[in-house]
Structure 1
């Protein structure tokens, strides 16, 4: 029988990866700041076009809510960047999960060992099996 299971992908933090991630964080921050500028411009434009104060208040509240969402995202990016700066080189960073097909048969051990794919500078350097039964399968 074949089953699909999740496999964790981790990247080794090299100087080039750290630089790329830092650049990506700066780009994301810049993009969000531009969105805030654009939202404020659109808010002013719509606000001036309205005649009733009630509608003006609704417009302002709606746009301010969107601006606040972008500010929260900027704060999250700044936090992630500060965390990245503190990480030592060659740390492993979880990048996500992929699906893998596993062949199982009657008599196999359960739970199956969790696997991790380790990537360094775009190349797979290791596939590790980690036993995930330290809590006896309990959540």
Structure 2
């Protein structure tokens, strides 16, 4: 089973051979890394696993404040007709879901660049000032970038 997956720590990813049972391999990888994975389906219908941090069962106050900000922003987006989830909150920041018009979208912010895809078509990028500013974008700023790039999509 060794050839069925490769752990790439530089990209924080695991490549799993399509012939392997994905859930079984994810379990083995999680065991070797000493983490537990949560499972979800992304905007393309692909199965994704996200590491769950069980080493700190009581989140810090900062984490709780950040979570409250994300929940507030997500609720506002959903009230505007978007279906949106946070794939990752940092390095990269990822938002994905569906626009009010029904198209799927994927926003990815890493290093100093945010990019948007709508229905798997690249819309454009926003380059921010400092080197790591996109990797740790605050919720309100991530939504502002999403709206800016969505306006570009609508002008097409």
Structure 1 length-normalised TM: 0.22
Which one scores higher on RCO, CA 8 angstroms, separation ≥ 6?
A: 1
Structure with more of its chain in strand, by fraction? 2
Structure 2 length-normalised TM: 0.20
